[in-house]
Structure 1
């Protein structure tokens, strides 16, 4: 009997992530298994536009006693509980190669996107989102003068550990290159050396050609579900032009970025008609002293990692095989891209 022809939507297989040089197990046949868990939509959380007890609101008093200004746009401040401090004692040389320590200096900041707590990026005005983009670029310039890595990231939703219902993100600037950026730097550098082109520029060309995993695009930006995605609704946001860092974006590219972010995040919210949780972050070429190096192998990109799987209440957990052996997913990147692509670009809250 002839062996069945491989079908990526039916048969288990592995996919390779060239950025991290890791594999993900794809098991699409598991979607056929019965599901008896919760699928109902949770009630909408009512968030007031302003809460004087919320430490991120204008005029509120934070835990350290500092009072926020009555800001009316983007507001940035030093994190009151910073994971990285600007200086500290140097660890002693390792007594054994199995027990190594190294210095880790840096600084952490918080960016409030808007004075109103009840707004998120997909329902903000375009001009407000553009101000966030500009502040990301400004902070990269400022912190990048000193630090090797400037990590901008947003944790949205309680399930992602966000304790304050107010639109904001964080920046952790490091005196070192963290693990995942280091992996990405190594893999992109190796690819550039072998092929003479940035890895992700070649990847953009492939995605534009195949059009199987594209969620949204405009003149300057592309949103795809990466071929090697791990999280069910994971996406990658890429500029179509070769760009190293956020500050390198032109005025037009920043406007286009604000527009496509609103489209992507609206589609996310429309998936289960909820404020879709995620962790996202920007990866660009290293900064600080490393800016003097040739970073042509880098391409700026943002990564979105949402935890939801089947509904607003059913989450994907990395457990068992995923924790002990290898990442695994049940739905293919192509199937997810089609679902996201077909969702409306008008936010569900705007229809009511």
Structure 2
């Protein structure tokens, strides 16, 4: 039976999770909810925005008149330095204190400049801010998460383009799981899982979206979200502390290339959640780990129709209709010039 007319499952080697792929369902009629798409032009400055230069934030502090990236402590941080003293330990109930900090990274002083709209210098400034934040915080915390939620659909409450940094002493579930899987693979094969994976995907080509000398963008073989991508370093670089200036520059280029392609899929500001996975800062050896980022966009069929992770996805395992191969082809064919700047 043809793969296009039958369901199959794929396993994620980073997590061990499975995804059910049902490509024959992708042509069924849509009668579900449709998200509203904002048609309003966003100004370069908004006097009511707490993230714009010189404006006052919720805690009463005034932003500086910044002209590049701007980082400040999250006014509503999910993590603080205060340590809980009510630890619990039993076979059924287990609780441990969680301490850390959270920061906000404004990508640009301009209220309407998301990553695909930044200048090359502006995009490199974002990458270098990721590097400097990781350099500082990895000296103090075991786990440093750099991420971005883009768009109202992804729960972003502030339209000014920004990302976040959460740093804490404990290993998050995702990092702990990926660390275990990558270590097991390395012990078996004596090579990093994600380097082997990147080379195999480049050789195959069907799921490759973009590639340069230092980085690969691929719709992973095991992708859960319709246009999910993995951005992975092509060298044995475990974290931002080991990134060269050349690798940072090429990262800025390919990140902007990817986000432009995303916007061009449906000619809209493409929403997503993305985040970097660095090796745990306290690892004695990180030879098994390769620096990478996950992009999880929710849109499925148009700028107003998103994929819902409900029912079977919540109670059994992830399921998708659009194959990773078709999603990669759609992204790969998208123009590298943003739809709003075409002449």
TM-score w.r.t. the length of structure 2 is 0.97
- Rounded to whole Å, the distance in 2 between the matches of 1:125 and 1:41 is 29
Contact 1:39 1:311 in 2 (8 A): no
Alignment of 1:256-335 (within 5 A): 256-287=250-281, 290-291=282-283, 293-335=284-326
Provide closer, same or farther for how the CA distance between residues 12 and 177 of structure 1 changes in structure 2, counting only shifts above 3 A: same
Give me the whole-angstrom Cα distance separating, in 2, the residues matched to 1:104 and 1:175: 7
Distance 1:233 1:260, change over 3 A: same
Consecutive unaligned residues in structure 1, runs of 5 or more: none
Equivalent in the alignment of 2:212: 218
Q: 2:82 aligns with which of 87, 91, 95?
A: 87
- SS of residue matched to 1:32: coil
What is the SS of the residue equivalent to 1:302? strand
The 8 Å contact of residues 39 and 312 in structure 1, kept in 2 or not, is answered as no
Matched with 2:18 is: 23
CA–CA distance in structure 2, aligned partners of residues 313 and 334 of structure 1: 23
Query: 1:77 maps to what in 2?
Result: 72
Residue pair 1:40, 1:311 contacting (<8 A) in 2 also: no
The Cα of 1:247 is off from its aligned counterpart by 2.5
- The residue that corresponds to 1:45 in the other structure is 40
Q: Secondary structure at the match of 2:121?
A: helix
Deviation at 1:52, TM superposition (A): 2.0
Instruction: Kindly provide the CA deviation profile for residues 42-101 of structure 1, in whole angstroms up to 9, marking residues without a partner as x.
Output: 35232111112111000010111000000001100000110000132332342x321110
1:250 CA displacement: 1.1
Q: Does 1:237 align with 2:251?
A: no
When structure 1 is superposed on structure 2, of 80-89 and 316-325 the one drifting more is 80-89
Q: Is the 8 A contact 1:41 1:311 kept in 2?
A: no
CA distance in 2, matches of 1:102, 1:43: 42
Instruction: Report the CA distance shift for 1:102/1:43 in structure 2 as closer, same or farther (over 3 A).
Output: closer
- Provide the rounded CA distance (Å) in 1 between the counterparts of 2:297 and 2:165: 19
**TM-score normalized by structure 1?**
0.95
Q: Report matched runs for 1:5-20 at 5 Å.
A: 7-20=2-15
In the alignment, what sits opposite 2:171? 177
Displacement, 1:34? 2.3
Q: 1:142 aligns with which of 132, 136, 148?
A: 136
> Matched residue of 1:176: which SS?
coil
Distance 1:41 1:89, change over 3 A: closer
Q: 1:39 to 1:77 in 2, by over 3 A?
A: closer
- Structure 1 residue 102 displacement after superposition: 0.6
Cα RMSD (Å): 1.4
Secondary structure of 1:110's match? strand
Task: Determine the structure 2 residue equivalent to 1:343.
Answer: 334
Q: Distance in 1 between matches of 2:35 and 2:172?
A: 39
Out of 86, 98, 117, the residue aligned to residue 123 of structure 1 is: 117
Whole-Å separation in 2 of the counterparts to 1:41 and 1:335: 26
Q: Distance in 1 between matches of 2:245 and 2:287?
A: 22
Structure 1 residue ranges, 4+ long, deviating more than 6 angstroms after superposition: 38-41
